[in-house]
Amino acid sequence: MVAVDAHFGYYQDHSVLSPAHELVAEILHPDKVIRRDGGHGWGVWKSLWNEVLKKRFDHDPPFQVARD
């Protein structure tokens, strides 16, 4: 088995994708998973992506996804 240093962030309120997201989240270490409430809009995803970047770099990332 190969260990992968991956972070996984997702919003739980997606009726189609949430079950698949939960399956992926179950196989990762809890510290690597970010779950949030929210829908499937760009504002929501940009916020989540910035949170994943911050967690990955253990500090403010070298860049951020622009917020509209």
pLDDT value at residue 26: 92
Predicted confidence pLDDT, tens digits, the chain (68 residues)? 666 778 888 888 777 788 888 999 998 889 889 888 877 778 778 888 888 888 877 766 666 666 55
Answer yes or no: are the C-beta atoms of 7 and 34 closer than 8 Å. Answer: yes
Return the pLDDT at 66: 66
Question: Can you give the length of the chain in residues?
Answer: 68
- Residue 61's H or E segment, with its range, is none
Residue-level pLDDT at 1: 64
**What is the pTM (predicted TM-score) of this model?**
0.67
Print the SS3 string covering 12-60. CCCCCCHHHHHHHHHHCCHHHEEEECCCCCHHHHHHHHHHHHHHHHCCC
pLDDT of residue 23: 92
